Structure 1
Amino acid sequence: MMSSDFTRRGFVAAISATTLAAALPTSAFALTDAQAKSLIDKAVVDINKVINSGKSLNGMIRDFERIFVKYGDVPIIARSALGADARRASKSQLNAYTKAFQGYMSRKYGKRFNEFVGGQITVLSSGKVKSFHEVKTSVKLRGQAPFGVNFLVSDRSGKSKFFDMIIEGISLRLSEKAEIGAMLDRRKGDINGLIADLKKAG
């Protein structure tokens, strides 16, 4: 049986997906707590539907990718996962990398939706933190006590999107930065090689 810690970390990955220091929002336009909470309210409704849809795993993965793109700031998350190496990538490389990263995240974490069938996410509150908003949710998985997951939301890209998720002090963005960094190291810094690997990974 999986440990509670493993399951909880898997949950964070699965729903964000979603979700690094170089890309933290530095300013917000006019995003309010109500707007940030509304975004996550809608995302949670969609996530709960997928979790309890009864669809095949492939069907849930496809739905997860749509949710990730709709509510997550994929370019920001992808670029921050690449870190400082994003500055030396060409525009075409960044575009290709972002698309490959999107598919990689969807496959890697969408596969774990089966672990959360029968679970439920509830939005609790929203508050401004520096230049972004933090929306707190409560997650109930079968056989476990509820635990908190926080979505970090910004409108830096021009639309309200979540750019990270935090659970028990663990940032999904920072976790993915470590993963992508390790993949790039194995390619000896070759971004094109990383893109090729991401297309097959997950």
Structure 2
Amino acid sequence: MVTDLSRRTFARAAVLGLAATALPPLPALASTAASASRLVDSVVADINRAINAGKSESALYKDFERIFAKYADVATIAMVSLGADGRRATPAQKKAYIAAYQGYVSRKYGKRFREFVGGRLEVTGARPVKNYVEVKTIAHLRGEDPFEVTFVVSDRSGSERFINLYIEGVNMVLTEKTEIGALLDRRGGNLDALISDLAKMN
């Protein structure tokens, strides 16, 4: 299991996170350590194939968006990133925000993939934690010490998806939630303006 990644990718483009403490109570656990590990194996394999396919930058963005939509609980991640402001959104705004956020995430990560060919991400173990499963991996990058990346997997959406990502213990949703909050503040709390701008941001 290998993929191209970078410590900077996770530190600066922290967009796939979802704070477990921010979630409402989850249904009874159906995901297992084995099934969650298989999900992460598939995520890693798909990312690796996309990176090493030699595609154009725009094609790589599309591949990553497909991967994100396939393996992540995008709707929940997006709405948690919006925080309390999501509660005042209309159903139409929520739908538009989720779509804009999905594309925003894909471009934000996708544009960095080519820079980090040669790294590998290895699944080292998995364990149930409360109502989800943590899948621990080790990232090996050229010229850097290995570091831990943990995926949080849940089936709360009706099928198994990852809902959080921790890099060396850092919960990535907190960074992204802060970023989204700042973007919304700069637009005077105008959610429609945020949605429009997210759809165009790189």
TM over 0.5, yes or no?
yes
Corresponding residue for 2:187?
A: 187
Give, in angstroms, the shift of residue 17 of structure 1.
Answer: 5.1
Q: RMSD in angstroms over aligned alpha carbons?
A: 1.8
Q: Tell me, what secondary structure is at the counterpart of 1:200?
A: coil
Q: Using the alignment, how far apart are the partners of 2:65 and 2:12 within structure 1?
A: 12
Q: Please tell me whether the aligned partners of residues 28 and 154 of structure 1 are also in contact (alpha carbons under 8 angstroms).
A: no
- The amino acid that maps onto 1:130 is K
Q: Using the alignment, how far apart are the partners of 2:120 and 2:62 within structure 1?
A: 20
Q: TM-score, normalised by structure 2?
A: 0.89
Give, in angstroms, the shift of residue 54 of structure 1.
Answer: 2.2
- The amino acid that maps onto 1:18 is L
Higher helix share: 1
Q: Using the alignment, how far apart are the partners of 1:137 and 1:13 within structure 2?
A: 20
Give, in angstroms, the shift of residue 160 of structure 1.
Answer: 0.4
Give, in angstroms, the shift of residue 71 of structure 1.
Answer: 0.4
More displaced 10-residue stretch of structure 1: 23-32 or 143-152: 23-32
Q: Using the alignment, how far apart are the partners of 1:12 and 1:47 within structure 2?
A: 18
Q: Using the alignment, how far apart are the partners of 2:33 and 2:11 within structure 1?
A: 22
Give, in angstroms, the shift of residue 169 of structure 1.
Answer: 2.2
1:18 aligns with 2:16: yes
State how 1:2-151 maps to structure 2 within 5 Å. Answer: 7-11=6-10, 18-19=16-17, 20=19, 21-23=21-23, 26-151=26-151
Q: 1:185 to 1:168 in 2, by over 3 A?
A: same
User: 5+ unaligned residues in a row in structure 1: which ranges?
Assistant: 1-6
Q: Please tell me whether the aligned partners of residues 44 and 121 of structure 1 are also in contact (alpha carbons under 8 angstroms).
A: yes
Give, in angstroms, the shift of residue 13 of structure 1.
Answer: 6.6
Corresponding residue for 2:3?
A: none
Moved runs in structure 1, 4+ residues, more than 3 A?
A: 11-14
Q: Tell me, what secondary structure is at the counterpart of 2:166?
A: strand
Corresponding residue for 2:153?
A: 153
What fraction of aligned residue pairs are identical, expressed as a percent?
52
- The amino acid that maps onto 1:197 is D
Q: Using the alignment, how far apart are the partners of 1:53 and 1:151 within structure 2?
A: 25
Q: Please tell me whether the aligned partners of residues 100 and 198 of structure 1 are also in contact (alpha carbons under 8 angstroms).
A: yes
Give, in angstroms, the shift of residue 55 of structure 1.
Answer: 2.1
Q: Using the alignment, how far apart are the partners of 1:13 and 1:162 within structure 2?
A: 20
Give, in angstroms, the shift of residue 99 of structure 1.
Answer: 0.2
Deviations 1:116-150 (A, max 9, x none): 21211111111011111100111112222221100
Q: 1:42 to 1:8 in 2, by over 3 A?
A: same
- The amino acid that maps onto 2:132 is F
Q: Please tell me whether the aligned partners of residues 123 and 137 of structure 1 are also in contact (alpha carbons under 8 angstroms).
A: yes
Q: Using the alignment, how far apart are the partners of 1:183 and 1:9 within structure 2?
A: 21
Q: 1:158 to 1:90 in 2, by over 3 A?
A: same
User: 5+ unaligned residues in a row in structure 2: which ranges?
Assistant: 1-5
Q: 1:40 to 1:132 in 2, by over 3 A?
A: same
Deviations 1:83-132 (A, max 9, x none): 01111101110000000000111111211102221211111111011111
Q: TM-score, normalised by structure 1?
A: 0.89
